[in-house]
Chain A
Amino acid sequence: MYLDHNAGGRIRAEVAAAITEWLQEPVANPSSLHAAGRRARDAMEAARDEVAGLLRAAPGEIVFTGSGSEANSLAVLGVARSGDKLFSTAIEHASVLASLEAAARLGATTHWLGVDAHGRVSPDAVAQTVAGGRLVSLGWGNGEIGVLQPVAEVAVALAELPASERPLLHTDAVQVVGVEDLDVGAVPVDLLTLSGHKLGAPPGIGALFVRRDVTLTPLVHGGPQERERRAGTENLLGIIGFGVAAKLARQDREARVHRIRSLRERLWSHLSPACGPVDRYDEEPSLPGTLSVGFRGLRGDALLVALDAVGVAASTGSACAAGAPEPSHVLRALGYDDDAARSVLRFSLGSDLDDDAIDQAGRAICGVVAEARRREGQP
C-alpha cells in the first residue's frame, strides 16, 4: 500500500523498456564525435524535445540537472547577485529555502510574501510588493499540503510592471508536472523546475526551463554541456527515461488527474469520521493526489512506524539531515502550533493505485489510528 508518490514511485514500463534497450551496448558519451557518441547525443536531444514539448518550450530552453533540488538551486543562485532582492514564501520546498539562504550569504536580500490560511499568495499583492526585485520564486504545487499557487495570475500581474521593474518569475513545478497543463507560452514564467521521478522516470534526473533571454551562472563548472549552464557528463539513461515519461504525461494527463482525485476522496471517506478527530489541510484548488491529514493528539512520526508495520507507506512531509521526521515547516508557517504540525501525515497517490488498494489502505490506517488512540486513552 504505497501512498508516498510525492516522494517517489513506480518507474513506468515504457520508461524501463527504453532504458533497458540502452543497457545492451556501451553507454557512449553524448559529447563524443564517433557514431556511438552521436547516437547518444541524438537520443538525448530527442528526450529534450519531449521535455520541452511538455512545456511548449524550445528545446534549447531545457537544462537537464541531477534533481529538482539542483534545478531549484540553479534557478535561485544562477540569477541572484549581491544586492538583489529575492521574493518567495515560507512554505517552499527546502531546496528553494536553502538556496535563498545561500544567496543571502552572498549579499542578496530575501523577502517573504504573505500567504493566506491555505498557503496561497494574492497575485495583486505580489505584483505590488516585488517591483524592482530580481526574482520571485513560487512553488506551483506544495508537496506537503497540496496547495496550488495562482502562478498564471502572478505571471500576468508581473507582466504589467514596467520592464525595468519586473523581476524574473521562477516556479518549482515538480509536483504539478503531469497534473497541470504547463504551457510556458500561456503562463509566461522565466524559470521552471521539473523532476523526472514524479513522472515515472528514475530518480536522479531533473530539468530547469530557462527562458531564452535569461542569463544563468552555472553551479557546476567544467565542460560545455547543457550550453554551459550545467557542466558534467549527462545522465543519458535518466534523460532518455525522462523523455519517454514526458511524452506519456502529455498523453493521458486529464484522465489520470481525474482518477487520482477520486482515489484521494475515496481515501478521505475512509478516514473521516472513522479515525476520530482529524484535520484536513489540503483544500482545492490543490494537487489531486495529495491528502494531508492531522490526527489530532497523535504524533505523525510514530503513526508512520505503526503504519509501516502493516504495510502502509506514507510520509510526514519533511525530514532532517539525520532522517528524522520534523514538524511540518509548511504548517508552522501557516500559523499552526508544533503539536498540530507534528500530527500530520501526508498520503500521496499515484495512478498505479486502484479502488481496492485505497480501501485496504484506508481500513489499515483507521485500524492503526484507533489502536493508537486507545493506547493514548483518547476517545
Chain B
Amino acid sequence: MTPIESAAVIDEILGSSDWKDDLLARFAPGTRIVSAMSGGVDSSVATALLAAAGFEVVGVSMRLGSSGARAAGHSGCCSLDDFDDARRVAALLDVPHYIVDLRDVFDAKVMTPFVETYLAGRTPNPCTLCNRDVKFDAFWDYARTAGAEAVATGHYCRILQGRGGLELHTGEDPSKDQSYFLFTLQGEELDRTLFPVGALAKDDVRRLAEGLSLPVANKPESQDICFVSGRSYAEVVEERAAHDQLRPGAIVNEAGESVGEHAGVHRFTIGQRKGLPGGASEKQYVTAIDAEKGEVRLGSGDALFREQLFVDGVRWTGHEYKGDAEVRLRHRHDPEPCRLIPESTGVRVELVAPVRGITPGQAAVWYQGSRVLGGGWIASS
C-alpha cells in the first residue's frame, strides 16, 4: 500500500486529516523515524500512520527476552510470532523491518531490578524501567546510529507544545492512557519521541487496523508484564534468584503474634488479600513487609490508609514544581488530589484524602489535568 493510499483510508476512517497535521507539526515529511514494532495492534497502526504521513519509516522490533525458536508457547511480547507479525505489517506498508537484540540491556536494567525489588520486600515497576532504560535510551542509541531523528512507539500518550516547551500529556483515550509508565521522559527525550496513536481512541486504532487490512487487526491485547506471561511473578523471581537470596519467615498479625509461615517476602505486596492464613475475625491484608527479618505483617483494611508518602528518584518532565497537583499511585487508578513538597532527597506528597494500599517500589506520577509534571518511586508511606 502506498502512503497516499493509506492516508486516504485513514482520512476516511477518522473523518479528517488532523492526524497528519499533528504528526507533521514537529518533523518534516521524509524525516527518518524508527518505529518500535512489537507486532501488536497499537505499534502497527502507529507505523502505518507514520508511513502515511510521509516520513521515511524504519520498523524495528526489540528482542528483549528469551524468544528463541525453542521458547514454545511464549505468548508475551517478543515471541517469534510477534516478530513475524511485525514483519508482515512492515511489508504491507513497504517499510523496512529489522530486529535489534537488546537482551543484555533488558536483563541488566529491567529483569535484575525486578527480582531485587521483590526480594527487598517491595513491588517493582518493570514497564517504567523498560521505557526509561531500554526503549527511550538503548533503543534510541540504536535508532540514532541508524540515522533516525526520532523514535515512535504505540503508547497512548501525547506530546504537546506548551508555553515552556514540549509537555507530556495523557493519552486521549482515558481507558488506554499509559502516561504512568512514561513519567521519566524529559526535555530532549520528548524532542525525539512520537506517539502516533496517543491522540486516538482504542476503537479508532482497531478500525484503522481493519481498514488498512493490517494482519494484526484482531490480535488480542497483551495484558500482563511481557516477560511474565502465564507464570506468577513469584515464579519469575524464584527462577532467577539464588536460593539464599529468598527471605522466608513469619506472617504476623496486628498484635505481633505469628499466624503462619511463608516461603519468601517476594510473594507479597502491600494491600494483598489472597493467599493469607485465615481465622481472623476481620478481613486481613498485608500492611507491611520487612525483608530484613523476613516478616510479613497483616492488619485490617483501615491500617492501609496513608495521608502522605515520600518519593525518591524524582524526574520532572519540565521544571520542578511545588504546590497542588494530582498523583497517580498505580496504573489505571484515578489520580488523587495532593500537594507536592520538594525536599533535598525527593518529594513529599501530602494527600488531600487518605489513600489505601500505597505500595513502595511503585511509581508515583503527578499530573495537572492531562499534563504529566513528573514522578518518582514510592520510598515510604
- Interface on A for B, CB 8 Å cutoff? 298-299, 301-306, 308-309, 320-326, 338, 368, 371-372, 375-376
Least distance between A344 CB and chain B CB atoms (Å): 14
B145 touches which of A306, A324, A325 (Cβ 8 Å): A306
In the complex, the chain A residue whose C-beta lies closest to that of B58 is: A305
B67 in contact with A302 (CB, 8 Å): no
B60 surroundings in chain A (CB, below 8 A): 305
Contact between B69 and A302, CB atoms less than 8 A apart: no
Report which of B78, B96, B145 forms a contact with A298, defined as CB distance below 8 A. B145
* A-B pairs with beta carbons under 8 Å apart, 19 shown: A298-B145, A299-B142, A301-B98, A302-B144, A303-B145, A305-B58, A305-B146, A305-B147, A306-B146, A309-B58, A320-B63, A321-B69, A322-B63, A322-B78, A322-B101, A324-B100, A324-B101, A325-B101, A368-B147
Residues from chain B with a CB closer than 8 A to the CB of A371 are: 147
Are B63 and A324 in contact, with the CB atoms below 8 A?
yes
With a 10 A CB-CB cut-off, give which of A309, A324, A338 has the most chain B CB atoms.
A324
Report the minimum CB–CB distance from B104 to chain A (whole Å): 7
Q: Given A309-B32, A309-B58, answer yes or no on A322-B67 (Cβ-Cβ < 8 Å).
A: yes
Most chain A beta carbons < 10 A, residue from B141, B142, B145, B147: B145
Task: Return the 3 tightest CB-CB contacts between A and B, nearest first.
Answer: A302-B145, A305-B146, A324-B99
For B67, the chain A residues whose CB sits under 8 A away are 322
Interface centre among B32, B141, B146 (most CB of A within 10 A): B146
In the bound complex, what is the Cα–Cα distance between A302 and B101 (angstroms)?
11
CA gap between A321 and B103 in the complex, in Å? 14
Q: Are A320 and B58 in touch, CB under 8 angstroms?
A: no
What are the residues of chain B within 8 A of A368 when measuring CB–CB?
147
Q: How far is the CA of A320 from the CA of B67 in the complex (A)?
A: 10
Across the interface, do A309 and B147 meet the contact criterion of CB distance under 8 Å? Answer: yes
The minimal Cβ–Cβ distance linking B359 to chain A, given in whole angstroms, is 34
Beyond the given A301-B100, A305-B60, A309-B58, please list 13 additional residue pairs across the A-B interface where CB-CB is below 8 A. A298-B145, A299-B142, A301-B142, A302-B141, A302-B144, A302-B146, A304-B98, A305-B146, A306-B147, A323-B83, A324-B63, A325-B100, A372-B145
Known: A299-B141, A375-B145. A320 touches B104 (CB 8 A): no
- In whole Å, how far is A48's beta carbon from the nearest beta carbon of chain B? 33
Complex Cα–Cα for A343 and B20 (A): 37
Nearest Cβ distance between residue B137 and chain A, in whole angstroms? Answer: 13
Q: Is the CB of B252 closer than 8 A to any CB of chain A?
A: no
> Considering the chains assembled together, what is the distance between the CA atoms of A305 and B32 in angstroms?
11
B50 at the interface (CB under 8 A from A): no
Q: Is B143 an interface residue (CB 8 A)?
A: yes
Residues of B within 8 A of A (CB): 32, 56, 58, 60, 63, 67-69, 78, 80, 83, 96, 98-101, 104, 141-147
Contact residues of B: prevailing secondary structure: mixed
Closest to A371 in B: B147
Residues of B within 8 A of A309 (CB): 32, 56, 58, 96, 147
Give the complex CA separation of A303 and B96 in angstroms. Answer: 14
Which B residues lie within 8 Å of A322 (CB)?
63, 67-68, 78, 80, 83, 99, 101
How many angstroms between the C-alpha atoms of A325 and B101 in the bound complex? 7
With a CB–CB cut-off of 8 A, which chain B residues contact A375?
144-145, 147
Chain A residues within an 8 Å CB radius of B99: 322-324
What chain A residues lie within 8 Å of B144 (beta carbons)?
302, 372, 375-376
Question: Do residues B142 and A321 form an inter-chain contact, with CB atoms below 8 A?
Answer: no
The residue that B96 contacts in the complex, of A302, A308, A321, A324, with Cβ under 8 A, is A308
Task: Report yes or no: B63 in contact with A302, Cβ–Cβ below 8 A.
Answer: no
Question: What residues of chain B lie closer than 8 Å to A320, measured between beta carbons?
Answer: 63, 68, 101
Q: Bound complex: CA of A326 vs CA of B101, how far in Å? A: 7
Q: Which residues of B contact A338 (CB under 8 A)?
A: 104
A338 to chain B, nearest CB (A): 7
Best-buried of A303, A309, A325, A371 by chain B (most CB within 10 Å): A309
Query: Chain B nearest CB: distance from A370 CB in Å?
Result: 11
The answer to whether B101 and A301 touch across the interface, beta carbons within 8 angstroms, is yes
The answer to whether B143 touches A302 (Cβ under 8 A) is yes
Chain A residues with CB under 8 Å of B142's CB are: 299, 301-302
With contacts A301-B101, A305-B58, A308-B96 taken as known, whether A321 is within 8 angstroms of B80 at the C-beta atoms is: yes
How far apart are A96's CB and chain B's nearest CB, in angstroms?
A: 19
Give the distance in Å from the alpha carbon of A259 to the alpha carbon of B253 in the complex.
83
Q: How far is the CA of A299 from the CA of B141 in the complex (A)?
A: 9
Distance between B37 CB and nearest chain A CB, rounded to angstroms: 13
- With CB as the reference atom, state the residue of chain A lying closest to B60: A305
In the complex, A301→B96 CA distance in Å? 14
Q: Which residues of B contact A323 (CB under 8 A)?
A: 83, 99
Q: Nearest Cβ in chain B — how far from A101, in angstroms?
A: 13
Contact of A299 among B58, B69, B145 (CB under 8 A): B145
Complex CA gap A368/B146 in Å reads 9
Contact residues in A for B147 (Cβ distance below 8 Å):
305-306, 309, 368, 371-372, 375
Distance in Å: Cβ of B145 to nearest Cβ of chain A? 4
A375 to B83, CA, bound (A): 28
Q: A338 to B146, alpha carbons, bound, how many Å?
A: 19
Please give me the residue from chain A that is nearest to B56 by CB atom. Answer: A309
| Chain B residues with CB under 8 A of A302 | 100, 141-146
- Name the residue of chain A whose CB is nearest to the CB of B101: A324
Bound-state Cα–Cα, A309 to B98, Å? 12
How far is the CB of B72 from the nearest CB of chain A, in Å?
12
Chain B residues near A305 (CB, 8 Å)? 58, 60, 96, 98, 146-147
CB distance from B63 to the nearest CB of A (A): 5
Min CB distance, B168 to chain A, in Å?
24
Bound CA span A368–B32, Å: 14
Nearest B residue to A327 via CB reads: B101
Which residues of A lie under 8 Å from residue B69 when comparing CB positions?
Answer: 321
Docked pose: A298 CA to B83 CA in angstroms: 25
A368 (CB) vs chain B CBs: closest residue: B147
Q: B216: shortest Cβ distance to chain A, in Å?
A: 17
Within 8 Å CB of A304, what residues of B? 98
Nearest A residue to B32 via CB reads: A309
Question: Please, how many angstroms separate the alpha-carbon atoms of A300 and B129 in the complex?
Answer: 25
Across the interface, name the chain A residue whose C-beta is closest to B69: A321
Across-interface contacts of A324 in B (CB, < 8 A): 63, 98-101
CB distance from B71 to the nearest CB of A (A): 9
Roughly how many angstroms separate A208 CA and B77 CA in the complex, as a whole number? Answer: 40
**A299 and B143 alpha carbons, distance in the complex (Å):** 10
Q: How far is the CA of A325 from the CA of B103 in the complex (A)?
A: 12
CB distance from A346 to the nearest CB of B (A): 17
Q: Which residues of A sit under 8 angstroms from B143, Cβ to Cβ? A: 302
Query: What's the minimum C-beta distance from B138 to chain A, rounded to whole angstroms?
Result: 10
